Amino acid sequence: MPKVSIIGAGNVGATVADVLAQQGIFGKVVLLDIVKGKAEGKALDMWESAPLRGSDTKVVGVTNDYQATEESDVVVITSGVPRKEGQSRDDLISINAKIVKEVTENVVRYSPDAKIIIVSNPLDVLTYVASITAKKPKNEVFGMAGVLDSARYRSFIALELGVSVRSIHATLLGGHGDFMVPLPRYTYVGGMPLTQLMSKEKIDAIVKRTQFGGGEIIKLIGTSAWIAPGNSVADMVYSILGDCNRILPVCAYLEGQYGYNNVYLGVPAVIGKNGINKILEIELNEEEKAMLDRSYKGVKELMDVVDKMGLF
């Protein structure tokens, strides 16, 4: 039975563990945190609910004991600190890059063959940090962003049209959040193009809401979202361990695709047991390519901040 380890027992990490445990198809889920008792307590709570949901998947909580993650098939990294009021973007990157670097070093020490999914923010640049640190094939280290952005986008479209979310298929490119590149031309509702069912004004409004979806939740409850992000990560884990070869929008390393090199950016990819099996290139018009260029430049600026830190 496969083993999944989640580094960081905050709201997102704990949600990933809980969603995986509910499925009952995993041999073991390890939840690790640096705060003593945090992972252990949440794992115990999940296990006590196992009889109610009929799942025998055991969630094990540990404090900073990476040996417990040994021989994991997939490792999810959610570690990092949220941006505080008055803190610059560069300061946040500096702090979280060091955290992700240390975590990744420990992960590959005990699970050299694991596929690594990054959730920590800023997502694109921290996936870059993890990849350099891991020294693994680029298809085995990637980030979760597009799956979440796509889910938000589809959910808002479903609300507007009054249809099932299962009838909506959408593709997004680019970085996470502000750097997201929507593709209404490649968004379909029951096989019909979204552009035939909704005005440009309404589509633009939904796109803007999606780009700032995380901020909307912070404004409402004072903290970042965790249920949708946690389920998004679990979706990626399923595709890897089930060798499903699903097409998912993920933060992947580009080597010439879309005309970019040496950058992690959101693109549709085939996800299976080997991680990213293939990156799919979509034909873009001038407006879409210009938006992706802006996204690329924004992500590269963040990567330059890391390069100047001298971590590697």
Active-site amino acid positions:
176
Query: Are 254 and 263 spatial neighbours (Cβ–Cβ below 8 Å)?
Result: yes
* Helix 286-307, helix 89-110: angle, nearest 10: 80
Rounded Cα gap, residues 81 and 59, in angstroms: 24
The SS3 assignment for 250 reads: strand
Q: Is the dihedral of CA 175, 176, 181, 187 positive or negative?
A: positive
Structure tokens at 20: 């995986």
CA 44 centroid distance within chain: 25
Query: Are 22 and 50 spatial neighbours (Cβ–Cβ below 8 Å)?
Result: no
Rounded Cα gap, residues 22 and 210, in angstroms: 28
Rounded Cα gap, residues 34 and 78, in angstroms: 12
